[in-house]
Chains A and B, each alone.
Chain A
Amino acid sequence: MNLFKISRKYLSFKPLSTGLNILLLSFGLAIITMLLLVQNQFESVVSKDAEGIDLVVGAKGSPLQIILSGVYHVDFPTGNIPIKEAIGLQRNRLVKSVLPLALGDNYKGYRIVGTNHDYLDFYQVEFSDGASWTESFQVVVGAEVALKQGLKVGDSFASSHGISEGSHSHDEHLLQVVGVLKPTGKVIDRLITTSVETVWYSHDEPGEDGEHTHDHGQITLNGLPEGDESRELTTLLLQFRNPMAAVQLPRFINSRTSMQAASPTFEMARLFELLGVGIKLLQGLAVALIVIAGLGIFIALYNSLKERKYDLAVLRSIGATRFQLLQLILIEGITLTWIGAILGLVLGHVFLFFLLKTSDQGLAASLQAWTFLPGELWILVYATVVGLVASIIPAITAYQTSIAKQLTKS
């Protein structure tokens, strides 16, 4: 027999009220856990994908859209840019390197990105099977694409026109998988990469006699592809040669060319600021839930105390000290909140798991439900504080109860 056993017996004596309080508290804490996980991982995923990219250049349009489509591959591109302008930009002395991206096709919702080997090197990929493309119509698939679509080296498939699923297919040109990447936790896991020329050639109209008018052999493995003037790219990822470029280059691109420059850091900070309102709202809701749960625990302990004054007096009459009764009530309050906290943490991860399961594409796909953050320990601390605050008044009341009065009152 000990105080923990006694308090456990009392808690399980009223399963409904105990259960309700635990549930309320755990829901509040689950929302906080989920927010914590999403916010933390989202920020780290977002910064990992954009690391090393100083500037993104696309067709005129929304800078945020350029970042989302060019770096994270979630939004639609703003349009295309002429290859001539891209080559002009590469010659600029402020630019250290340029990664070309040509978008336009997808395979079952996974984007096909025409680029060069520098893009693969930029994300420091490793191959789990095969190697990089060396000819047109050869592709390398990211880890997630390979897993979800069951693609492996040697497979071939027909791409569909457009960024998202469900438009006409390019049946005349099957794409052949020559390499599968290891998981990186970055955007490239969700992409199918190939040469820029593959994307170009897929979209060329067949000649009048049904013959293709272009040469299928020539592709560019590094640097910008050389195409005739009518060729276009979608996005360029730039690295600056020196800090001066951060000031001069965007201004130059926006005013002197038909292109638009966007800074990933700046645009994502702006996006988080916009999302922040929603996150704050959810946080407020979670705090409200926790406060209600705290009140619930307080009321439950206080009410049960009225019924239990008798029991407490009996305990005193058989030798329990007032301090032991104080401890008993505190243990009950804290046990209640700790069970709620642990349940809340588990629920938070479970909620996130189901949330991610229902949206397995886009940025959400790179979030993990079962990673644990040190910040989650703070949730236990919050819960303990709630438990202490909620049980301190009932505990003091128990401490001050006069036993003679309780026992002689029949």
Chain B
Amino acid sequence: MMLEAKNLKYTYKGSQNIDFPDVELKQGESLLILGKSGSGKTTLLNMLSGLLKPESGTISIDGKDIIAFSQKEMDQFRGKNIGLIFQKPHLLGPLSVKENLQVAPFFAKVQGESPTGILKELDIEDKANSKVRTLSEGEAQRVSISRALMNKPKLILADEPTSSLDDENAERVINLLKDQAKRIGAGLIIVTHDQRIKNQVSKFIEVKKNESV
């Protein structure tokens, strides 16, 4: 099993606690996490990527218990094994497109893939030396996907990757995510409420708030 998360619980201050459904993912598999806005989808994703510690429960990725990791170990594990994609591209403004990609293997201390190769794969190699500012929304999101792929992660986690894109770009991004995850043999989890994605990935789980207070 690539990813296994059981009995996860989390409480935001001044709000009721959320019980999350268990998550299981095999290598090369894709999974959607669905739910209304505010239901805790992103919280679940943050816990799976080690950005947030759950109150209780277990998470293991590639056989490793990530809850037991120290802050630093977690940062390094994430850099090497998890590719994160957010709703907004979150590119680093002062750096060029290519440099944005090079940052990933530098911090993860791995060799990494060739930036030009990945940019070619995602059909934006002509933007390699462009400033981030000059990119369109769709191009920027493709660059952020490229960055997530740089270290050949075992797991790709995407948080609403298509919500700010038009139909054409959204479809392109989903196909890219699926194709690239398959190419490098990574598991793919997408948090979304986007109807356009639901048609593309069959397996899903749903996050709901507890009814009782």
**Contact residues in A for B91 (Cβ distance below 8 Å):** 314
Question: Most chain-B Cβ atoms within 10 A of its Cβ — which of A5, A10, A404?
Answer: A404
- Whether A319 contacts B42 in the complex (CB less than 8 A), given A9-B99, A404-B51, A410-B88, comes out as no
On whether A321 and B75 interact (CB within 8 A), knowing A311-B92, A408-B42, the answer reads yes
Q: Considering the complex, which residues of chain B in the window 43-60 have a beta carbon less than 8 Å from any beta carbon of chain A?
A: 46, 49, 51-52
B76 touches which of A2, A5, A319 (Cβ 8 Å): A319
Q: Say whether A310 faces chain B, with CB atoms less than 8 Å apart.
A: yes
Residues 2-52 of A at the B interface (beta carbon under 8 Å): 2, 5-6, 9-10, 12-13
On chain A, the residues within 8 Å of B84 by CB distance are 317-318
Chain A at the B interface: SS class: helix
Q: Jot down 24 A-B pairs with beta carbons below 8 A, ordered by A.
A: A1-B99, A1-B102, A2-B106, A6-B95, A9-B94, A13-B94, A311-B93, A315-B92, A316-B75, A318-B107, A318-B148, A319-B78, A319-B80, A320-B79, A321-B72, A321-B75, A322-B72, A323-B72, A404-B52, A407-B46, A407-B51, A407-B90, A408-B46, A410-B87
For the residues of B in contact with A, the DSSP-based class is helix
Using a CB-CB cutoff of 8 Å, which residues 157-198 of chain B contact chain A? none
A310 partner residues in chain B, CB cutoff 8 A: 90
Contacts known (A324-B107, A403-B51); A317 close to B95, Cβ less than 8 A: no
Interface residue ranges of B63-120 to A (CB < 8 Å): 71-72, 75-76, 78-80, 84, 86-88, 90-95, 99, 102-109
Contacts of A10 in B (CB 8 A): 94
A319 and B79 within 8 A (CB) = yes
A319 to B84, CA, bound (A): 10
Q: Is B152 an interface residue (CB 8 A)?
A: no
Chain A residues with CB under 8 A of B42? 408
Which residue of A1, A315, A319, A407 contacts B86 across the interface (Cβ within 8 Å)?
A407
Rounded to whole Å, the gap between the CB of B94 and the closest CB of chain A is 4
**Interface size on B (CB < 8 Å)?**
34
Cα(A407)–Cα(B157), bound, Å: 14
* Chain B residues whose C-beta falls within 8 Å of the C-beta of A1 in the assembled complex: 99, 102-103, 105-106
**Contact status A320-B75, CB under 8 Å:** yes
Q: Which residues of A contact B151 (CB under 8 A)?
A: 319
In the complex, besides A311-B92, A320-B107, A404-B51, 15 extra interface pairs with C-beta distance below 8 angstroms are: A1-B99, A2-B106, A9-B94, A12-B94, A13-B94, A310-B90, A314-B91, A317-B49, A318-B147, A319-B109, A322-B75, A323-B72, A403-B51, A407-B46, A407-B86
| Alpha-carbon gap, A313 to B78, bound state (A) | 13
Q: Which partner residue on chain A sits nearest B105 by CB separation?
A: A1
Contact of A317 with B51 in the complex, beta carbons under 8 Å: yes
Q: Which of A6, A13, A319, A408 contacts B75 (CB 8 A)?
A: A319
State the 7 A-B residue pairs at the shortest beta-carbon distance, nearest first.
A319-B79, A13-B94, A319-B108, A404-B51, A1-B106, A9-B94, A1-B102
A269 to chain B, nearest CB (A): 56
Within 8 A of B (CB), among A381-410: 403-404, 407-408, 410
Cα(A268)–Cα(B91), bound, Å: 65
A319: chain B residues within 8 A (beta carbon): 75-76, 78-80, 104, 107-109, 151
Residues of A with C-beta under 8 A to B87: 410
Interface residues of B in 20-59 (CB under 8 A from A): 42, 46, 49, 51-52
Residues of B within 8 A of A324 (CB): 107
Alpha-carbon separation in the docked complex, A410 to B92 (Å)? 16
Q: Distance (Å) between the CB of A173 and the closest chain B CB?
A: 75
The interface residues of chain B lying within 8 Å CB-to-CB of A410 are 87-88
Which residue of chain B lies nearest to A315 when distances are taken between CB atoms in the complex?
B107
| Cβ contacts under 8 Å, A407 to chain B | 46, 51, 86, 90
Chain B residue numbers with a CB within 8 Å of A403 are: 51
A29 to B76, CA, bound (A): 41
Q: How far is the CB of A326 from the nearest CB of chain B, in Å? A: 12
A316 and B84 alpha carbons, distance in the complex (Å): 11
Most chain B CB atoms below 10 A, which of A2, A10, A408: A408
Separation in Å of the A193 CB from the closest CB of chain B?
65
Shortest CB distance A401–B (Å): 12
Question: In the complex, which residues of chain A have a beta carbon less than 8 angstroms from the beta carbon of B80?
Answer: 319
Complex alpha-carbon distance, A322 and B75, angstroms: 8
Contact of B103 among A12, A318, A321, A404 (CB under 8 A): A318
